[in-house]
Structure 1
Amino acid sequence: MGISTHILDTSLGRPAAGVPVTLARMTDEEWSTLNEATTDADGRCKHLLPETDVLRPGIYRVHFDTLAHYKQHQLDGLYPYVEIVFTVSECEQHYHIPLLLTANGYTTYRGS
Structure 2
Amino acid sequence: MSAYRLQQLKGHILPENKNTAMAGSPSPLTTHVLNTGMGVPGSNMALSLYQQDPSTSAWKLITTGTTNDDGRCPGLITKQQFTSGVYKMHFETAKYWESMGETCFYPYVEIVFTINDPGQKYHVPLLLSRFSYSTYRGS
The one-character-per-residue Cα deviations of 1:12-34 (angstroms, maximum 9, x if unpaired) are 10001110010000003100000
Find the residue that maps to 2:65 and give its secondary structure: strand
2:82 equivalent among 46, 55, 76 = 55
RMSD, matched Cα:
1.2
Tell me the equivalent position of 1:88.
115
TM-score normalised per structure 2: 0.76
TM-score normalised per structure 1: 0.94
1:10 equivalent among 36, 39, 47 = 36
The count of aligned residue pairs is: 111
In the alignment, does 2:52 pair up with 1:23? no
The one-character-per-residue Cα deviations of 1:37-93 (angstroms, maximum 9, x if unpaired) are 1000000012211x3643100000000000111011111100010000000001110
Superposition pairs of residues 93-112 of structure 1, within 5 angstroms: 93-112=120-139
Q: Distance in 2 between matches of 1:75 and 1:98?
A: 22
Q: Structure 2: which 5+ runs fail to align?
A: 1-26
Contact 2:52 2:58 in 1 (8 A): yes
> Percent identity among equivalent residues?
38
Q: Is the strand fraction higher in 1 or 2? A: 1
Larger radius of gyration between Structure 1 and Structure 2: 2
